[in-house]
Structure 1
């Protein structure tokens, strides 16, 4: 096992239960595990030695909700100026052309961006399987994560309720329930690793109440619990979703989830904007987690999660960037900053601080993923997942007064200096260690161009034009 020594740091921000800091401290890890942190450590050499006298060390950020394949459909003009349902309808026409090689490139791009912004663990929700393509898709994401060196939590999503059955997505990106459950079993049996310091865990994740059946939810819950894996889905994201559930199902979204067995400490939802006070208490009672995705929610005009109420009620809340087509980026530090600013505006400047938002993206996210024994803070016995920032960068000038709030409030024009996952350096001097970034960017844009061109040919719609021209008002 390799060893890692970070010595003489300007500060080590642990984000442990007491939010301890170690100005001038050091950290030593053997293999993936931190074995010492603090002062006067009895270690002088290691396989990797980092002089951190001008650097601040933070626990790795944890992304609890993403759709990595959407990295190939960022900044599509025709998908702007839309709310969620119209946005989805527009992009499904592009996503139906996805191929396995596109999934690999998009995952490399998205996970690479996350690493460069201090994220060391990422959960992904993959639910779009066009034209019956199944087995290769999530496997390609897993391959990309392994090559980059990020800790990964893919969830096998699904859509079974196509337009012909009253759902939102086109039938071409949906699958029958037997196929969904069979491939879910395959992925869990092939890849899920529940051991300590695992680099890969797998979950089950039907997409949303408007794209799946109650039967699929029940069977997915039974399957997940038979294997002891976690469960994830979108919930309470928009008013349209509320209206759909009341009209089609006669229940509010959370009530529908509970009727199908989708509550418990093994369940986390994405968004949670429209939970009422009673439902928030219910989330705490059942120990459900929620992924907060502020940038996406703001861009789509979906609303604002009642974050302060959730935290006061004891609900587990983590941070997520959401899909890159509704965020247009995979920047975890930016997500923490946006959360801080959004809730300052919504709840007042004394409700939640920058350090509180950093805690949500570390300890909070680890709890949501059920991974708090391994990750989420820098403590002896936990994984050496961390990032460092060099305080000599221009963006930090005049700001070195509160090290815990520093990366949330300042320096966001720059990437992190270094990212380490499981004791291994994966970003150095702001660059990915294991990939040629320029070649990856070119490959990603080429794949995106092909997808958009194929969708334009099929639908006779020029996706490169602005939707606001209203040439296609009925689309």
Structure 2
């Protein structure tokens, strides 16, 4: 078991229950575990020592919702100025051409960006399985996470309700209920590790009320609970979704979830914008969580998440960057800044402080994922997941008055060091386990191929659009 000492830090922002800070403090780590933290700690000689002078240490950020495969469809000109349903129908025709290597490369890029912005644990929702392509696509994301060294929570998503059955997605990217449930069992049995300091935990995640059948939701809930894994889905993201549920199902979205077994402490939703007050109270009482994705919600004009009502009602709230195609980046620090600004605008200047936003992105997110015993704060006995910023950098000059708020207020997305489970995975702002330039070149080439392939199968003239975008 290797040991690591980070000593003489400018400050350690623990985000523990008391939000303690340790100016001039040190952290001693053995294996994955924090053994000591504070200003007067005793420790044995460490295998590795990091000089923390000028560095501020924070608990690793926890991303509760992402679609890593969407990394290849960022900044697509003809998917920029539209709302969710039109945006989805446009991009489905591109995503249907993804291959396993594309999924791997897009995950490497997205997860790499997350690590470089201080994220140490990422949940991902993968639900696009193109016809004729290997069904073992989520395995490619797990491979990428293992190579980069990030703690990972992939959720096996699904879509079973294609356009021919009244759903939104094209039939070419949906699967039958039998195939979905069989592969979900395989993913759980192959990868889910509920043990302490696990690097991979798996969830069950039918996509949304407008892309899966009632039967699949019900059976997925039963399957998840038989294995003791958590459950995730999109819910109440847009008014269009609410209208769809009322028209097709005769129910509001949360009512539909209740009928299919999708409420409880083991459930978290993505977005949650259009819940009414009664539903928010009900979610708080039953222990549901929500992944708040502010940038995506603003880009797609979905609405503003009622975060103050959620928190006051006891709903577990975490932060998510959402898919790269509806955010166009994978920066958790930038997302936290956007959250802070959005809710100052929406709820008033004192509604949600920068430190509150840091808490939501750490402790709050860990509770949403049911992982709070291991991650979310820097404390003795917890996982050594953290990031460090260099306070001597130019962009922090004139801002060194509140270390806890600093990365949120400034929104600086690149960190100096990221550590996951006691291992350095970002050093001096660079990924340790990947050649960034080579990865970027391969990923861009693959993204161009996917888009060009898609354009050959549609009426859109890709060359004309590419020339226009240039």
TM more than 0.5: yes
**CA–CA distance in 2 between the matches of 1:391 and 1:410?**
12
The equivalent residue for 2:443 is 444
Q: Answer yes or no: is 1:8 the counterpart of 2:3.
A: no
Q: Deviations over 1:128-183 (max 9, x none)?
A: 00014343200000000000000000000000000000000000000000000000
Contact in 2 for aligned 1:77/1:465 (Cα 8 Å): no
The equivalent residue for 1:416 is 415
The equivalent residue for 1:226 is 226
The equivalent residue for 2:147 is 147
Large movers: runs of 4+ above 4 Å = 463-467
1:307-326 equivalences under 5 Å are 307-326=307-326
Contact in 2 for aligned 1:419/1:426 (Cα 8 Å): yes
Contact in 1 for aligned 2:333/2:411 (Cα 8 Å): no
The equivalent residue for 2:358 is 358
How far did residue 45 of structure 1 move? 3.0
How far did residue 462 of structure 1 move? 2.6
Q: Answer yes or no: is 1:269 the counterpart of 2:269.
A: yes
Unaligned segments of structure 2, at least 5 residues = none
How far did residue 46 of structure 1 move? 1.2
Contact in 2 for aligned 1:270/1:290 (Cα 8 Å): yes
How far did residue 47 of structure 1 move? 1.7
How far did residue 314 of structure 1 move? 1.0
**CA–CA distance in 2 between the matches of 1:45 and 1:172?**
58
Contact in 1 for aligned 2:115/2:426 (Cα 8 Å): yes
Contact in 2 for aligned 1:273/1:303 (Cα 8 Å): yes
Q: Deviations over 1:189-224 (max 9, x none)?
A: 000000000000000000000000000000000000
How far did residue 117 of structure 1 move? 0.1
**CA–CA distance in 1 between the matches of 2:461 and 2:46?**
57
**CA–CA distance in 2 between the matches of 1:312 and 1:83?**
30
How far did residue 41 of structure 1 move? 1.7
> Number of residues paired by the alignment?
467
The equivalent residue for 1:116 is 116
**CA–CA distance in 2 between the matches of 1:423 and 1:88?**
39
1:249-268 equivalences under 5 Å are 249-268=249-268
1:55-454 equivalences under 5 Å are 55-410=55-410, 412=412, 415-454=414-453
Task: Note closer, same or farther for the CA distance 1:263–1:349 as it changes in structure 2 (3 Å cut).
Answer: same
**CA–CA distance in 1 between the matches of 2:79 and 2:267?**
31
Secondary structure of the corresponding residue to residue 325 of structure 2: helix
Report the TM-score when normalising by structure 2. 0.98
Q: Deviations over 1:20-39 (max 9, x none)?
A: 00000000010000010002
1:24-35 equivalences under 5 Å are 24-35=24-35
Report the TM-score when normalising by structure 1. 0.97
The equivalent residue for 1:51 is 51
Secondary structure of the corresponding residue to residue 156 of structure 1: strand
How far did residue 285 of structure 1 move? 1.1
Contact in 2 for aligned 1:78/1:463 (Cα 8 Å): no
Q: Deviations over 1:248-293 (max 9, x none)?
A: 0000001100100000000000000001100000101110000000
Contact in 1 for aligned 2:63/2:122 (Cα 8 Å): yes
Secondary structure of the corresponding residue to residue 240 of structure 1: helix
Q: Deviations over 1:351-402 (max 9, x none)?
A: 1100001000000000000000000000000000000000000110000000
